[in-house]
Amino acid sequence: GDSVTQMEGPVTLSEEAFLTINCTYTATGYPSLFWYVQYPGEGLQLLLKATKADDKGSNKGFEATYRKETTSFHLEKGSVQVSDSAVYFCALSSTGANSKLTFGKGITLSVRP
């Protein structure tokens, strides 16, 4: 079945540091890939997505490229801020009329001033 694997956390960075959060997936066909973010005590918000190979999703300075050859969708940001502290989830949605989201376990990012 479909699965998403995220790097182990938590991750702690200083403000303005470079961020990479790894995400790899297993799926049949050509899934869509998503990054969601969850701030403390809240629901999830879509951060970015990509629906086909080589697409790059971007939002709020975050980027991720859909790499089919390595089945990866790594999240990057050039300079993190304290306000980026949150839990980040990678997810995939298989193609088809009855598709569902499959989530990774999430990783907690803490950014210190």
Partner 1 sequence: DGGITQSPKYLFRKEGQNVTLSCEQNLNHDAMYWYRQDPGQGLRLIYYSQIVNDFQKGDIAEGYSVSREKKESFPLTVTSAQKNPTAFYLCASSIGTGGTETQYFGPGTRLLVL
Binding mask 83-102 for partner 1 (x = CB under 8 A): ------x---xxxxxxxxx-
Return the residue of 25, 34, 35, 62 that touches partner 1, per CB under 8 A.
34
Number of residues that bind partner 1 (CB under 8 A): 26
Query: How far apart (Å, rounded) are the C-alpha atoms in residues 66 and 53?
Result: 5
57 near partner 1, judged by CB under 8 A: no
| Dist CA 104 CA 89 (whole Å) | 6
First to last CA, the chain: 41
Based on C-alpha coordinates, what's the Rg of the chain? 14
Residues at the contact surface with partner 1, assessed by CB under 8 A? 31-32, 34, 36, 41-46, 49, 51, 89, 93-101, 103-106
